[in-house]
Amino acid sequence: PANMVPMDAPTQIRQYLSDSKTSRKEIPSAFQNKARKRQHDEMLEDDEVPDDIQDAISAKRRLNTLAARRSRARKAQTAVENEERISGLQSQVELLQQE
């Protein structure tokens, strides 16, 4: 747990030099319908993402990043507790085998 990213650390901005293997879409599917409606209404270019949709995408990504950090911290804590429990049980087994 000592080498984990702190919960209050800033989230990174999504900037890729090439196509991302994990996120190939410019706009996540949850926001595509909003973008299509707006694009039809305002006749935007295909490459342009409206600021309010981009802000919503960034906010959702930030919340997901924080949730992932909490999940990783819980997982690390559980691993530490399991290791402590295993060592305690192993010492009990050794005591019982000595009897």
The domain segmentation of the chain, as residue ranges, is 29-98
- The predicted model scores a pTM of 0.60
> Token match 């295909």: residue?
46
Structure token pair of residue 52:
């309010």
Mean pLDDT of 82-96: 97
Please count the residues of the chain.
99
Structure confidence at residue 38 as a pLDDT band (50, 70, 90)? low
Task: Determine phi and psi for 25, rounding to 5 degrees.
Answer: -90, 140
Contacts of 16 (CB under 8 A, 6+ apart): none
Mean pLDDT of 40-46: 55
Structure confidence at residue 23 as a pLDDT band (50, 70, 90)? low
Mean pLDDT of 1-24: 72
> Token match 């949730």: residue?
67
Mean pLDDT of 55-62: 89
> Token match 């030099």: residue?
17
In this structure, how many other beta carbons lie within 10 angstroms of the beta carbon of residue 35? 19
